[in-house]
């Protein structure tokens, strides 16, 4: 089967285009990566190019030694992925130390993997371990409302989680572990990768202040759905803040606790603090 006809490749392209349609990928903004299953590596193997040069990843991910990934290309536009996937995407292979990669397919007009490769791979390494191999997708997008909120809400995991949960009943069900926040940092390197992957030890969502969001998940639907849910909640909070400086009513801690039984989820107590003023927005 041709690589472009394989199920995981179609899923990757559809997810990228869904993100573009949401308005999360202006110009070359955002990036996506997928860790191939052993059976998928077997399927693509006869179609791969002979290996090119090993290139340093810029960080070390020994937990991902010899794994294969599909990734978006640096400087490529999400807008173009659906029309020209072989130009915009690559399949890369990691070496047996998890320190170097080489391109095995795609980027037919030249180029290199996403500038955020260190963050993607460090997140994959953490998630492969903590999810016992189930998580395969890491997604970064420039989600408008989340970015807007990062100028207004204190950059604090408890405050962000609680405000986002309050905006829609489904939120604590979709991300019961909460969201983590990284203060503004220079993107594209190892430092932001270390900060983000540290949050991924406990969360599936990391907010990058004044930049966007990273999400991790088992498959394309769950990972896209997670980002979509967080961003929709952020959009509601932006509307609420635009209409009124206070909330006249909201979901209270005892309400969240009732959801735990109904939906068989466990919500960490540190997000269910009693607020000094339940009407205030963005305060503990």
- Binding flag, residue 63, ligand 2HA (CB under 6 A): no
Return d(Cα 249, Cα 283) in angstroms, integer: 15
Q: Does 233 bind ligand 2HA (CB under 6 A)?
A: no
Of 106, 66, 64, nearest to 87 by C-alpha is 106
Site string for ligand 2HA, 142-181 (x = CB under 6 A): ----------------------------------------
Q: Is position 99 annotated as part of the catalytic site?
A: no
Least distance between ligand 2HA and beta carbon 89 (Å): 14
Q: How far apart are CA 91 and CA 107, in angstroms?
A: 9
**115 lies in the site for ligand 2HA, by CB under 6 A:** yes
Q: What are phi and psi of 283, to 5 degrees?
A: -125, 155
Minimum Å gap between C-beta 140 and ligand 2HA is 6
CA distances from 61 to 26, 35, 127, 198, 223 (A): 30, 13, 12, 14, 22
- Judged by beta carbon, residue 29 or residue 63, the one nearer ligand 2HA is 29
Distance separating alpha carbons of residues 196 and 206, to the nearest angstrom: 7
- Check binding of 116 to ligand 2HA (CB under 6 A): yes
Residue 73 sits in the site that holds ligand 2HA (CB under 6 A):
no
30 contacts ligand 2HA (rule: CB under 6 A): yes
Minimal distance, residue 211 CB to ligand 2HA, in Å: 7
Distance CA 215, CA 198 (A): 13
CA-CA distances (angstroms) from residue 281 to 164, 232, 246? 11, 17, 6
| Active-site residue, from 40, 116, 166, 231 | 116
Pick the piece of the chain touching ligand 2HA (CB under 6 A) from 27-35, 55-63, 99-107, 175-183: 27-35
Asked if 129 contacts 204 with a C-beta cutoff of 8 angstroms, the reply is: no
CA gap 212, 244 in Å, rounded? 25
Chain position whose Cβ is nearest to ligand 2HA: 187
Footprint of ligand 2HA (CB under 6 A): 28-31, 115-116, 140, 187
Residues identified as active-site: 116
């Amino acid at each position: 089967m041709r690589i472009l006809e394989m199920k995981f490749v179609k899923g990757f392209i559809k997810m990228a285009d869904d993100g573009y349609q949401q308005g999360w990928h202006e110009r070359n903004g955002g990036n996506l990566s997928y860790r191939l299953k052993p059976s998928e590596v077997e399927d693509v193997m006869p179609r791969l190019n002979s290996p090119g040069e090993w290139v340093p990843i810029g960080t070390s991910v020994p937990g991902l030694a010899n794994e294969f990934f599909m990734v978006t290309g640096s400087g490529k536009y999400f807008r173009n992925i659906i029309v020209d996937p072989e130009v915009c995407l690559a399949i890369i292979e990691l070496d047996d130390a998890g320190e170097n990669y080489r391109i095995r397919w795609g980027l037919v007009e030249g180029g290199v993997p996403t500038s955020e490769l260190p963050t993607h791979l460090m997140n994959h390494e953490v998630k492969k371990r903590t999810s016992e191999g189930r998580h395969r997708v890491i997604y970064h997008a420039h989600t408008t409302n989340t970015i807007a909120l990062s100028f207004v809400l204190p950059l604090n995991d408890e405050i962000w989680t609680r405000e986002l949960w309050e905006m829609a009943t489904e939120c604590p069900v979709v991300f019961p572990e909460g969201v983590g926040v990284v203060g503004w940092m220079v993107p594209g390197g190892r430092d932001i990768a270390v900060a983000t992957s540290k949050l991924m030890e406990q969360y599936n969502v990391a907010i990058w202040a004044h930049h966007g969001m990273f999400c991790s998940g088992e498959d394309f639907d769950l990972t896209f759905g997670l980002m979509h849910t967080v961003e929709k909640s952020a959009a509601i909070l932006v509307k609420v803040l635009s209409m009124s400086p206070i909330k006249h009513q909201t979901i209270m801690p005892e309400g969240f606790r009732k959801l735990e039984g109904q939906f068989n989820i466990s919500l960490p107590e540190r997000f269910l603090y009693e607020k000094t003023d339940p009407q205030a927005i963005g305060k503990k």
